[in-house]
Structure 1
Amino acid sequence: MQTSRIVFACVVLAVCAAEQTQRPEVSDTALDDALSDKRFIQRQLKCALGEGPCDPIGKRLKTLAPLVLRGACPQCSPQETKQIQKTLSYVQRNYPQQWAKIVRQYAG
């Protein structure tokens, strides 16, 4: 029984380590460019709300946004946390209806 717990812990750590190495850094300039692209933002919002398909960025946002909304994202780098908060703040200001849906869906 103890051995299976150790193996499980090793697998979890390996998956977490793999996730850490597979995420490319996004520059603040690239984020600003993305936020100014309304079609891009609407695609990501539809993904996050389960109303449309997800690209890799949408999948990542969909995974991390609930954690950031709850105030804890242990697997996020400080840069990612800052950028996700910036993105969520942008959505809150510019897409209030979708923001309300996101809060209902993820913060509860």
Structure 2
Amino acid sequence: MRSTVLVCLCVVVVAAAAPQNTGGRKYTDKYDHVDVDAILRNDRILTSYVKCMLDQGPCTAEGKNLKIDLPDALETDCSKCSERQIEIVRKASRHLMEKRPADWKKLQDKYDPQGTFQPRFERFINEGAVKA
């Protein structure tokens, strides 16, 4: 489930799949078209999303929505996410884990301090891993 939290966090970081509380339906697909790669390549934008998620800086509308719905996404393993949102979350999570591990750790500490979600998150991320 930690992966789901981080996945959702990555979604915000990527500014892509910011969900809106829909009471049992899928999250909005409003941000599914966002160029995730461009965001991940831009340290300034990526840092602003990380700071938003850590309550260390201002948030965009997408960031605010994600912070509201993150607990639900974590509890439901992103079950309300579209396929595109899952793809975005996995890509963003992997990027943060590999390229910005200190930020990843801070996000884990904030959104999963007991490591409750970690095993499920790792499975979630690895389900979409490209096999060599």
TM-score by length of 2: 0.56
Indicate conservation of the 8 Å contact 1:68/1:85, yes or no: no
- Between Structure 1 and Structure 2, the one with more helix by share is 1
How far has the Cα of 1:26 moved from its partner? 2.8
Report the counterpart of residue 55 of structure 2 in structure 1.
50
- State which structure, 1 or 2, has the greater radius of gyration over its C-alpha atoms: 1
In the comparison of the two structures, how many residue pairs are matched?
A: 92
Q: Secondary structure of the residue that 1:24 maps to in structure 2? A: coil
TM-score by length of 1: 0.66
How far has the Cα of 1:71 moved from its partner? 7.3
Q: Which of 8, 26, 30 is residue 32 of structure 2 equivalent to?
A: 26
For structure 2, list consecutive stretches of 5 or more residues without a partner in the other structure. Answer: 1-20, 114-132
Answering whether residue 88 of structure 2 is matched by residue 97 of structure 1, we say no
Please provide the CA RMSD for this pair.
2.9
**Mapping for residues 58-69 of structure 1, pairs under 5 Å:** 58-63=63-68
Work out which structure has the larger RCO, using CA pairs closer than 8 Å and 6 or more positions apart in sequence: 2
Identity of aligned residues (%): 25
How far has the Cα of 1:107 moved from its partner? 2.3
Amino acid aligned to 2:22: C
